[in-house]
Amino acid sequence: MTREDLEQEARIGLVAAIRAWRPERGPFPPFADRCASNQALLAVQSGFTRRQELLNQALRLEDTRSRRSTARDGRPPLAIVDCLATPADARTDPESRLLVHEELMCVLRALSILSDGERTALAGVLDGERYERLGPALGRTAKGASQVVYRARRKLARALPRVA
């Protein structure tokens, strides 16, 4: 979770505090601080749930070596091929090459079970797009875009074999 994400969650907590505050319950600043802190903490905690595991480990779907884009920290982003478990001699060892090829084919087959909207939504989220911007691109609300991504992630989790 990035700093901007936490700031946004704190703002959401502040808006909730503005709606919920009643003067008879005490001064507003400590109440708003508590609401904003709780909202940010809840976002961090929910980011580490099992439900978010696939998204937390996700990489770009396309091969980024051919593109000139870089990650936010200045390094070129990793492609999915870069993170497959490969031995050091994968380029020369035929067995290793076959295993890497089978892994890639498995990922590509799993991606083919997603609908166009699910692929678009998942690619958008993996590229760092927020649901508020992704929703209109999909013809949905932000919550609807979130549901599409959730469905796509569940489909992929079921389609990919478990690695021990």
Total residues belonging to the chain:
164
Q: Tell me, what's the pLDDT at 147?
A: 93
pLDDT band for position 164 (50/70/90)?
A: very low
Whether residue 108 is predicted with pLDDT greater than 90 in this model: the reply is: no
Q: Could you tell me the pLDDT band of residue 40, with boundaries at 50, 70 and 90?
A: confident
CA torsion sign for 64, 68, 72, 74 is: positive
- Go through 50-88 and write b for each residue having 16 or more CB atoms within 10 A of its CB, e for each that does not: eeeeeeeeeebbeebeeeeeeeeeeeebebbeeeeebee
- Where are the domains positioned within the chain? 1-48, 50-164
What is the pLDDT, as a whole number, of residue 25? 84
Three-state secondary structure call for residue 113: coil
Chain mean pLDDT for the chain:
76
